[in-house]
Structure 1
Amino acid sequence: MLDGQVGQAGSAGDFEAVFVTESGVERRVPWEWLPEVIGELGRPARSFPSYRGQRKFPGWYWSSTMGRRIGFESWVERDHLVTLDFDASVVRIVSQPFWLLWPHGGKQRRHAPDFLVSSADGGVLVLDSRRCELIGERDREALETAGRACAALGWRYAVWDRLDGVVVNNQRWLAGYRHPRCFDEPVAARLLEVFQLPRPLVEGAELVGDPLGTLPVLYHLMWRQLLVADLSVVLSHRTVVRCAPPVANLARVANLADELAAGGRS
């Protein structure tokens, strides 16, 4: 169960959803209403427990996509959150977005997915983060039910296991430079000029100036994917970096400072 829809579509009438708005109001609605109120989903539908001796590692991650902190409950979730934040097609991420409710054996069961992700093309992905070897039968039933419920709405549903270690580590390194404070417009413009010709990372940084000043901007541009490299291999000073398609660069870099100041994502 990795990066794909799980199960066949069920009847939307079999399900309900409970979510919490940005203002803290809890709402319970028929499942088929959820696409109409998706913009209201704001706060996590459940809390992130933290206690001494727990095996998971919950925390908060500042998302450049959202311009605010998003909660996670494990390091697997954190890595998935970084990947979603890095994805330029993602425009919205909600953690623990809702409770899915459904009848089961005369009782009511519920499941809270880990993330709801909206894309620029209007698509919606509901995502659960799990180490697949640890999924038990009861959890598997809940995940399969979530897949059927999402399919009834025309939404994608996926269960992600641990991601490729090299890619994750590279994305986490670049995430250290995701904040707008790492952007400097004159340095960024010069870096984009220098990397019109693909070249090693540090070589390009040195051509622009002192690497202590240029590298944070370079990494920020890589996070923004104005500069790109093969992240399936370990990022190093020898990594070959190049500009993304030049037309997009010229259009985006001119407005990047204003977009960052407004809290938006380029």
Structure 2
Amino acid sequence: MMLPQMEELLPPSAVEFEVGWRDAGGEHRLPLPEASEVEFEAGLPVRGFPSYRGQRHFPGLYWSATTGGHVGFESWLERDHVMLLDFTPEVTGLLSQPFWLFWENERGKQVSHAPDYFARFEDGRGLVVDCRPLDRIDTRTAVKFAATRAACASAGWGYRVVGEVDAVRMANVRWLAGYRHPRHGVAEGMVERLLALFSVSSPLVGQAALAGDPITVLPVVFHLLWQGRLGADLSRMLTDTTLVSRVEGRR
């Protein structure tokens, strides 16, 4: 089945959106223009993830280094994308199922959609994310995504519909995520020494060995790669000889 182009699915400009969200103070609902400055990343998910015998997807909780708490996911795909958001140094806040978006369709029927994630960037920008394999977006879903895109544009937020991630890049990010906890970056003097050693692009293991026992040093290197203070080409599988270098401007 051929789906319409996303632009063809956009609701008319006269559509009025409302947003419903939760926080420690309870439940709230406002017209979108009045809620565009809400810190959704500091709120609570508007719905939970059911778990039942025989279900075909895999819900769970991901511990986020960005928030210092758990962020929910409903599938491996969502887990991968919340991990990628957590891996993005510029992201400062993150919440799953951040709000309900409400609007009326052309027949006057109320429609609702809860996007998968809301991310806040260090410059104040908001980003709304929906995760879905691109070959599983049917017409009904495409209409909801198009309406969400229009609502986000009117609120000044970015919007992405994301599918499968490059397998090699994702494997690398999953590996680095094993070293995302701050405990890997507290070795006294080690961080500064490694940043100095990798001021020139150098092979990962060989250069790290100059700072001491690799068993002790490599977790710190991987933590710095996770933080974005060290950089490498993650489109290729990480190996002993992967070239790693300091990323200027990252603290």
Given the two structures, how large is their TM-score scaled by the length of structure 2? 0.91
Is the Cα contact below 8 Å between 1:166 and 1:234 reproduced in 2? yes
Which whole-Å CA distance do the structure 1 matches of 2:160 and 2:230 have between them? Answer: 29
Q: CA deviation at 1:31?
A: 1.4
Q: CA deviation at 1:202?
A: 0.7
Answer 1 or 2: higher relative contact order, Cα 8 Å, separation at least 6.
1
Is the Cα contact below 8 Å between 1:228 and 1:243 reproduced in 2? yes
Which whole-Å CA distance do the structure 1 matches of 2:174 and 2:193 have between them? Answer: 25
Letter in 2 for 1:35: S
Q: CA deviation at 1:37?
A: 2.3
Superposed CA offset, 1:186-230 (max 9, x none): 221221121122211110121111111001111001111111111
**3-state SS, counterpart of residue 185 of structure 1:** coil
- Report the number of matched residues: 242
2:38 matches 1:37: yes
Q: 1:133 to 1:201 in 2, by over 3 A?
A: same
2:199 matches 1:196: yes
Is the Cα contact below 8 Å between 1:41 and 1:97 reproduced in 2? no
Equivalent residue number for residue 3 of structure 1:
none
Equivalent residue number for residue 169 of structure 2:
167
Equivalent residue number for residue 114 of structure 2:
112
Structure 2 unaligned residues grouped into runs of 5+: 1-5
Which whole-Å CA distance do the structure 2 matches of 1:101 and 1:12 have between them? Answer: 14
Is the Cα contact below 8 Å between 1:205 and 1:211 reproduced in 2? yes
Q: CA deviation at 1:40?
A: 7.4
Q: CA deviation at 1:154?
A: 2.0
Which whole-Å CA distance do the structure 1 matches of 2:239 and 2:11 have between them? Answer: 45
Q: 1:19 to 1:64 in 2, by over 3 A?
A: same
Equivalent residue number for residue 215 of structure 2:
212
Equivalent residue number for residue 139 of structure 1:
141
Superposed CA offset, 1:93-152 (max 9, x none): 111100111112232110000011111122111110010101111111111111111111
Letter in 1 for 2:80: D
Q: CA deviation at 1:24?
A: 5.9
Is the Cα contact below 8 Å between 1:45 and 1:96 reproduced in 2? yes
2:90 matches 1:89: yes
Identity score, percent: 47
- The alignment's C-alpha RMSD in Å is 1.7
2:179 matches 1:155: no
Which whole-Å CA distance do the structure 2 matches of 1:10 and 1:230 have between them? Answer: 43
Which whole-Å CA distance do the structure 1 matches of 2:15 and 2:32 have between them? Answer: 7
Equivalent residue number for residue 222 of structure 1:
225
Q: CA deviation at 1:161?
A: 0.8
More helix by percentage: 1
Which whole-Å CA distance do the structure 1 matches of 2:63 and 2:191 have between them? Answer: 23
Given the two structures, how large is their TM-score scaled by the length of structure 1? 0.86
2:187 matches 1:178: no
**3-state SS, counterpart of residue 237 of structure 2:** coil
Moved over 4 A (4+): 6-13
Higher mean displacement: 10-19 or 90-99: 10-19
